[in-house]
Amino acid sequence: MSSVRVLVGTKKGAFILSADGKRQQWNVAGPFFAGWEIYHMKGSPVEKNRIFVSQTSGWFGQVIQRSDDGGKTWDTPGGEKLPKPGEFPAGVSNKFVYDTSAETGKPLTTHQWYDGTQHPWEFKRVWHLEPSLTDADTVYAGVEDAAIFRSTDGARSWHELAGLRGHGTGPKWTPGAGGMGLHTILLDPKNKNRMYIAISAAGAFRTDDGGKTWKPINKGLHSNYMPDPDAEIGHCVHRIALHPSRPDVLFMQKHWDVMRTDNAGESWREVSGNLPTDFGFVIDVHAHEPETIYVVPIKSDGEHYPPEGKLRVYRSKTGGNEWEPLTKGLPQKDCYVDVLRDAMCVDNCDPCGIYFGTTGGQVYGSADGGDSWAPIVRDLPAVLSVEVQTLP
Amino acid sequence: MILVVLPAHLRTLAHVQGDVQLEVSPPVTVCSVLDALEARFPMLRGTIRDHVTLQRRPFLRFFACEQDLSLEPADAPLPEAIASGREPFFIIGSIAGG
């Protein structure tokens, strides 16, 4: 029987929730890195016991942690002592330095600041870590201020894929209320050179050459908070998801609107349909049904909690437009938590398991595709991210 | 030997308990103390000062001999009491954030 390992990043540490394939009895381990913000943690699909963690702090900055034994022990890659007598390790696993212009040595570009002026890029933290689908030592990092970095040595050192910031639209990127973060990285399982990323507030971008060059893929997005609602750049994309069997089909939860593309982002159409509100953060796809998708509607951008105090996951089995509320086991009164963009995931078990975490510290799980839910834990610190590994 | 007192989170990160003793060649300055600290504990690089600019992180302070040395030049000699190990060099996380 398979088992699952749920990786939970919170405002005050990391937790690992594990269960067998029935997903009824759970073991809770943690907190790891107590007191630090754990923006994201994700396991390698190549080596299941390798887990990467983004550990951040307003005081001490960025730290990258890695476990090679499924979370039993951790270390900062490259921070090990004395690899050889008299020689010190580099200790640069948390060194994220933006590329400069090859011609001038000056900053590659600037971005738009809140007051409309141009502002230099300043590294703040890693929002998202995306391990390679094929190489256990390769991992991508989405960071604030928005950029994508890659490590090919197991997170010991990082190098920017500067073609993203340098392709020309950078001066139009603007931080949202939560900062200017690159929060979504999707690797195409059928095309190793194709990647999708998303930035708040710039939009979605795609590379077809392994990260050398990028282009915006925002046609069809409409955002009323922009002077030109249909502009190429400036959309506050909250999250994108795909099913591995159809990587050209993407589903997006935007600041407002749930969107879909069937041509790798060349054009998008709205599929919000009968949702009670089309604001939200998370979106994900059923592991075995590519047309079954999940969102958690949030009342509005000014009121980050569920409508009517009812925590409801909405499921569409038609790839959007027709949605049904999933409420069994979820609080249906007096619930005013939020579900942040990286805090939903699906496992590969059969039936498919769905998990999400809340700013109230609950992690809910469903072992039947969303028909019913139960809290795995109720009282963690505010949950920032939830990922799951399906283990043999 | 220089005595360095780290904030609790950095002690955890460096896998040390209690204070840290460092050999630092003169002149003993903030910069040379941090160089020695980071050489011995590479995982602390970037957590006290920026990797590239070597600027102190905004919410950290350097105290010693009942003085705030945070704004002193990083290459200025530290008081003799620190250089001789009679007084510790404190790296302090400021109280902020609630």
Over chain A, what is the mean pLDDT?
Answer: 95
Q: Report percent pLDDT > 70 for chain B.
A: 97
Whether A90 has a pLDDT exceeding 80, the answer reads no
CB B21 within 8 A of CB B2: yes
Contacts of A79 in chain B (CB under 8 A): 41-43
Give the distance from residue A92's alpha carbon to the nearest chain B alpha carbon, in angstroms.
7
The pLDDT score that the predictor gives to residue B83 is 94
Whether B61 has a pLDDT exceeding 80, the answer reads yes
Q: What is the DSSP pairing of strand B2-5 with strand B89-93?
A: parallel
CB A142 within 8 A of CB A124: no
Whether A214 has a pLDDT exceeding 80, the answer reads yes
Task: Please state, in angstroms and rounded to a whole number, the distance separating the CA atoms of residues A373 and A386.
Answer: 16
Give chain B's domains with CATH numbers: 2-93 (3.10.20.30)
A216-236 pLDDT, tens digit each: 999 999 999 888 999 999 999
- Global pTM value: 0.95
Whether A373 has a pLDDT exceeding 60, the answer reads yes
The pLDDT score that the predictor gives to residue B31 is 96
B54 in contact with chain A, both atoms CB, cutoff 8 A: no
Contact A78 B38 (CB under 8 A): no
CB A297 within 8 A of CB A276: yes
State ipTM. 0.89
Give chain A's domains with CATH numbers: 3-391 (2.130.10.10)
Contacts of A44 (CB under 8 A, 6+ apart): A50, A51, A52, A131, A132, A136, A139
Which helix (H) or strand (E) segment holds residue A120: the answer is strand A118-120
Contacts of A32 in chain B (CB under 8 A): none
Query: From residue A154, how far is each of A62, A139, A303, B54 by CA, in Å?
Result: 16, 7, 40, 25
Task: Please state, in angstroms and rounded to a whole number, the distance separating the CA atoms of residues A382 and A360.
Answer: 5
Q: Is A164 helix (H, G, I), strand (E, B) or coil?
A: helix
Give the distance from residue B5's alpha carbon to the nearest chain A alpha carbon, in angstroms.
15
Whether A361 has a pLDDT exceeding 80, the answer reads yes
Read off the pLDDT of each residue in A147-154 and give the average, rounded to a whole number.
97
B10 in contact with chain A, both atoms CB, cutoff 8 A: yes
Contacts of A60 (CB under 8 A, 6+ apart): A36, B7, B9, B10, B13, B47, B48, B57, B60, B93
Give the distance from residue B77's alpha carbon to the nearest chain A alpha carbon, in angstroms.
25
B71 in contact with chain A, both atoms CB, cutoff 8 A: no
CB A202 within 8 A of CB A234: yes
Whether A143 has a pLDDT exceeding 60, the answer reads yes
The two structure tokens encoding residue B60: 């950290």
DSSP of A99-119, one letter per residue? -B-TTT-SBS-EEE-TTSSEE
Whether B49 has a pLDDT exceeding 70, the answer reads yes
Read off the pLDDT of each residue in A322-339 and give the average, rounded to a whole number.
98
> What is the distance of C-alpha A2 from the center of its chain?
25
Which among B12, B42, B52 is the nearest to A91, CB-wise? B42
- Mutation choice for A interface testing from B10, B50, B51, B59 by most A CBs within 10 A: B51
Contact A89 B51 (CB under 8 A): no
Give the distance from residue A312's alpha carbon to the nearest chain B alpha carbon, in angstroms.
32
